[in-house]
Structure 1
Amino acid sequence: MSTGNIPTEDDVLGYIPTISNWGRWGTDDELGTMNNIGPDQIKYATSLVKEGISVSCARTITTERAPDVVAPVLHYMTGSGESSMDTDTNEFVHQQSSGDFIGMAFHGHWITHIDSLSHMFWNGKMYNNRPASMVTTREGATKESIEVLKNGVIGRGVLLDVARSRGVDWMKPGEYILPEELDKIAHEQNIELQQGDILLIRTGHYKRRTEEGPRSPEDGYPGLQAACIPWIRTKNIAALGGDTVSDSYPSGYPKIRLPIHQIALPYMGLWLIDNCNLEELSQACHRLNRWEFLFTLCPLRIKFGTGSPVNPIAIM
């Protein structure tokens, strides 16, 4: 486990005035840290495509029932090929097709998804001092919905491979990462974070799930300690992703169970990409000895949505 000074819960609450981006990009802003990506960042990111390799960073969506799947995905066929086998009596023989109905609750610990800034509240407020009541039962997120990312996310992705740096297959449940370790790994990988980066953190959690099977999230999972919040703010990253939900759990705090979600998202306006599959990306980065890449992500245009399932793509 990382060593260093662990902030108290009061210390974490004390971060709020210094990490808050409320008003930084105007009182009407709904993009938060995505404002850190501009034309220069996008043009530089496209220059990182050297080998012509693309790697998915998403988990496969299945109807699996497991301890870490709160609401299993619904997948029903609205049409299949089974009814199209009798070509002699089927009058629609030339217009055969199949179709699906898919339903999901993508927030949680299973589906790869991005959280919009309307997903988390603190003291009745969401990002940029808007009242939480702007997310209604009838409509959804009337402000800061996932539609603000209708043009997608394009930028420089950076992978910090914590598990590989520690020499382990995966971090243990509840183990945490401190900012000095992130700096150490960036130095090891000869990478310097820049404004507008999409930062991906690999703990090996998904590899553990694949090899040992699913566990209840209440058993704990690895991730960033709350001390990383000011560090993230100073780096001016656009989004944070990982193979867990970014936070380490348990946090050790009675009120702030998920500091990255509860503090960084509503106050910093930090976009979070949860439950990535970073195994293939880790292998590709290690093989090429290159930890930066063009990163693309296109959420669904869900009106009033608080997020979206996604398939992030790293292009090298």
Structure 2
Amino acid sequence: MFSLALPLDRLGPMRGGGPRVNPQHVMLRTPHDPIPGRDDDGLQRAADDAVYMPLQCSTQWDAFCHIFYDGVTYGGAPADSITTLDGAARNSITNLGERALGRGVLLDLARHRGAQTLLPGEAIQAEDLAACAEKQGVEVGAGDFLLVRTGHLESRRTTGDWADFAGGPAPGLGVGAAEFLCERGVTAVASDTWGLEAIPFETPDLMSPLHVILLVNAGIYIGEMWDLEALAADCADDGVYEFFLIAQPLMVTGATGTPLNPLAIK
């Protein structure tokens, strides 16, 4: 069993400023604090804590309502289906709910190309995914959860400095990858990069073009910042690149994304 999640703490990859910050974990009380209303000379104590975190600051799912194009998102849901008070009335990540489990497939593009990591800006297209799957001897089919390893997360983590991992130049899927994903009818695609897509984007006039294709048009969930290293090493060792994946979202009503602890079981 392999956990594919990054730790939720202040040392995470959100170092670039902006609204997405690393989780802030605070203690509400410690065993040094008396329990109100109890006078037992310190015999009994308790600890409680809390966390503040953007829902997309670490290992995550993007909901369909994360991206809008020309005023709508998946299924024609308009922009006013999201409000400041209630969040998303349609296409919330809670729709994934109990359905976020099934056959997972890893395509290890870094090992396929004989590299520790793919280079920033290096785009993975449909033919690259197909060639990697053929070499690994695995098929990607309808309903699968496809995981794509670039090595980018591990290359930054091992330096001890996340630097511009969040939002900076990165390898990832190119627009052409949509052909592979849509033809096979996958449920979701996740990777070990901050934004799934190759950055700089292939479309200078459009930010995150693959997000638009997958979330707005195709209805394919996107996972980002998944830690695939241990799983990839095991797959390379035994030559088995398929597994059972459990990746339930937190059931935050109206959320456009969610942190999670995906588990791959071989």
Match of 1:214 among 159, 162, 174: 162
Match of 2:48 in 1: 99
Match of 2:60 among 89, 113, 123: 113
Contact in 1 for aligned 2:129/2:180 (Cα 8 Å): no
CA distance in 2, matches of 1:249, 1:150: 30
- 1:125-150 alpha-carbon deviations (Å, 9 max, x no partner): 01011112101112100111122123
Map 1:78-89 → 2, pairs under 5 A:
78-83=28-33
Match of 1:44 in 2: none
- 1:246-272 alpha-carbon deviations (Å, 9 max, x no partner): 111111312222122122211111101
Residues 68, 207 of structure 1: alpha-carbon distance in 2 compared, 3 angstrom cutoff: farther
Match of 1:187 among 134, 141, 145: 134
Match of 1:128 in 2: 75
1:236 is aligned to 2:185: yes
Which letter does structure 2 place at the counterpart of 1:255?
Answer: D
Which letter does structure 1 place at the counterpart of 2:15?
Answer: P
CA distance in 1, matches of 2:40, 2:60: 41
Contact in 2 for aligned 1:157/1:197 (Cα 8 Å): yes
Structure 1 unaligned residues grouped into runs of 5+ = 1-53
Which letter does structure 2 place at the counterpart of 1:97?
Answer: A
Q: TM (normalized to structure 2)? A: 0.91
- 1:193-217 alpha-carbon deviations (Å, 9 max, x no partner): 1111000000001111112221224
Tell me the matched-pair count: 256
Which letter does structure 2 place at the counterpart of 1:303?
Answer: T
* Consecutive aligned runs of 4 or more in structure 1 exceeding 4 Å deviation: none
Q: CA RMSD in A?
A: 1.7
Residues 102, 240 of structure 1: alpha-carbon distance in 2 compared, 3 angstrom cutoff: same
Residues 218, 242 of structure 1: alpha-carbon distance in 2 compared, 3 angstrom cutoff: closer
Match of 1:309 in 2: 259
Contact in 1 for aligned 2:93/2:258 (Cα 8 Å): yes
Residues 219, 148 of structure 1: alpha-carbon distance in 2 compared, 3 angstrom cutoff: closer
Secondary structure class of the residue paired with 1:100? strand
Secondary structure class of the residue paired with 2:146? strand
Contact in 2 for aligned 1:117/1:265 (Cα 8 Å): yes
Identity of aligned residues (%): 30
Q: TM (normalized to structure 1)? A: 0.77
Secondary structure class of the residue paired with 1:186? helix
CA distance in 2, matches of 1:272, 1:161: 17
